[in-house]
Every structure is written in structure tokens, then in C-alpha cells.
Structure 1
Amino acid sequence: MRSLDIGTMEEPSQSISSALGNYPLFSALVAFVIAQAIKFFTTWFKERRWDLKLLIGSGGMPSSHSATVTALAVAIGFKDGFEGSVFAVAMVFACVVMYDAFGVRLHAGRQAEVLNQIVYELPAEHPLADTRPLRELLGHTPTQVIAGAMLGCVTAIVARILSLL
């Protein structure tokens, strides 16, 4: 059993270096950045406009949430073994996040769309007529979640191969 020594503090540069050397964490962060970049550049390519909100926002293709948690789970599997408890926890966590992305959050976004339309059609004198619109792009379709999960797997595999070189 390992003990945690809270008394020793690393320098900030050593902490960052240690975090980047953490293969599962690094894989998860890279998967997130790649997924967000895909959304950012896809929008520019399709609409010829830069939308900086896409670099951190939710929704769209591929799901960065799915890419992140899948990369984390797969990287943990490679590092600590796919039969271990830590991988099991990471896998359950990934499944919950992905279910939430295409279940609860997708339907919340659709409800926001309907509510925004209702508010838009209210007469100007109605007390809710000037209500700020709700965010509609919250969740993902199953295809977006699957694409994110595939991106996460590929990211973890490539990071593993690079870590072995």
C-alpha cells in the first residue's frame, strides 16, 4: 500500500512536467484538444468564419467529452492493465459520460430549442419576451458520441505507441 506524503511540494514546473508525463492524463487532454480543433476548423471550412467559442464549447462533431473519457479509459487500460479496478472505474465513468451526452444533454438541448421558439413568439409586452435565449447545442447525437469515442481510442493508441519509442 502506498502512502501519500502531502508534506513534499514540487516546483510548479516539475508538477507540469509530471502531469504531461502521465500517459493517461496526456492522452485525455490531447483527445479533447483534437476534438475541439476538429469542430473549430470544420466550422471555418464550412462557413468561412472563426468561432472561438467552439474551442471550449459543448456539442457538435465529434464529441470531445466522449473522446476525452475514452482516451483516458483506454490509456489506463494500456498502462495499468485492462483487468484492473482502475480501468473498470474509468470505463464506467466513460460510459456514464457518453450516455449523458446523447441522452440527457441531447434532450435538454432540444427542449431549449422549443422553449426559445415559444419565447420568440411571445408578444413584446409579455414579461418573458426579452428573456435571453437558452443554449441549444448541449448534447450529441449517437454518431457524434461514437466518433468521439473512436477518436479517443485512436489518440490513446497513438500516444501509447509514441510513449514506447
Structure 2
Amino acid sequence: MTLLHTALSWNFVLVTALCASLLAQLIKVLLNLFTFHRFIAERIWGAGGMPSSHSATVCAMVVATGRYCGVSSSQFAIAAVLSIIVMYDAMGVRYETGEQAKLLNRMFSEWVDQGAASFPFLGGKKLKEMVGHTPIEVLTGAVLGIALGFAMPMV
């Protein structure tokens, strides 16, 4: 029995969800490597970007729960509702937070360039701009999670 089969027999739903998350993060690293021609370590664990690992994780969880517990189970209902909340949040609140961070970073930079007061409370740091997802990033993550949820072998 392989390590994956052993893990899946321990907790099929959890292992499927974690595999989807890891696969999405790996795809982010590879896409950034091909796009920017350099390794960006933050993409291994960072939020935001293509595809949404949050969406991949929760959609894999929903499919695995449906396969393991049945689509009429309470566990499936909880997983489905949770996935909707997570994906909505990724596209809504967290995406807007990133847009606000971009604007604030630009404002701080322009103020400093114009000789205005410096901002010592920032310590020279910029706000993180990539925290949310566009709808296509969420959709791509969801498709990835659904596909992996169906592809994982039931043991």
C-alpha cells in the first residue's frame, strides 16, 4: 500500500483537500516561474494568484465529502456552505483588501517621492497586495479541486 493510499484510508476527505491545496500552490509556483522567469518562494505559501488554493481546497473537500458521506449527508451540506463562503470571501473582501493595499502603497510612495513626511511606522515595508482572487482565479481553483476530488481513489 502506498503512502497516499494509507493517508486516504486514514481520512479521505482531509487528505483529498490537503492534496488539492498543495497542488494549487505548486501550480502557482510553476506559473510564476514561467511568467517571471524566476522562482518566487512566497508563492509556495502565499495567498492570492492563479489558481485559488482556497477554492481548490474547499471544492475538493466538498466532492470528497459527497463521495465519502453521500450528497444527502449533513457533512456534505456543511462542506458545501463553507466552500461558498470561502470562495465568496476570496473574491470579495480579500480581493478588495488587495486593491486597497495597492492604492495605499502607491499613495505612500508618491508622498515620499514628493518630499513629504516619511512613514516610520511602516518601517519601509509595503502592504501585501496579493491577498484575494479574481473570479477566474477562483473558478480555476474550483475546477482543479473538483477534478482532484473525483480523481482521488476511494480506499
TM-score in same-fold range (> 0.5) = yes
Tell me the equivalent position of 1:25: 14
Is the aligned partner of 1:47 residue 2:36? yes
Q: Kindly tell me the number of residue pairs found equivalent between the two proteins.
A: 146
Bigger relative CO (Cα 8 Å, ≥ 6 apart) = 2
In structure 2, which of residues 116, 119, 123 is the aligned counterpart of residue 128 of structure 1?
Answer: 119
Aligned equivalents of 1:49, 1:43: Cα separation in 2: 7
- What is the CA-CA distance between 1:19 and the residue it aligns to? 7.2
Instruction: Report the aligned-residue RMSD.
Output: 1.7
Aligned equivalents of 2:148, 2:108: Cα separation in 1: 42
Q: Percent identity?
A: 40
Q: Which runs of 5+ in 2 are unaligned?
A: 1-5
Aligned equivalents of 1:138, 1:125: Cα separation in 2: 28
Give the partner amino acid of 1:119: F
Is the aligned partner of 1:65 residue 2:58? no
- Taking the TM superposition and a 5 Å limit, the aligned residue runs for 1:145-156 are 145-156=138-149
Give the partner amino acid of 1:128: F
Aligned equivalents of 1:49, 1:115: Cα separation in 2: 27
Contact 2:8–2:16 (8 Å) recurs in 1 = no
What is the TM-score when the length of structure 1 is the normalising length?
A: 0.83
Go from structure 1 to structure 2 and tell me whether the alpha carbon gap of 1:125 and 1:50 turns closer, same or farther (over 3 Å shift).
same
Aligned equivalents of 1:20, 1:51: Cα separation in 2: 34
User: Hey, which bits of structure 1, 4+ residues long, moved more than 4 A?
Assistant: 17-20
Aligned equivalents of 2:70, 2:154: Cα separation in 1: 16
Give SS of 2:111's match: coil
Q: Which runs of 5+ in 1 are unaligned?
A: 1-16
Tell me the equivalent position of 2:3: none
More helix by share: 2
Tell me the equivalent position of 1:9: none
Q: Which has the larger radius of gyration?
A: 1
Is the aligned partner of 1:110 residue 2:103? no
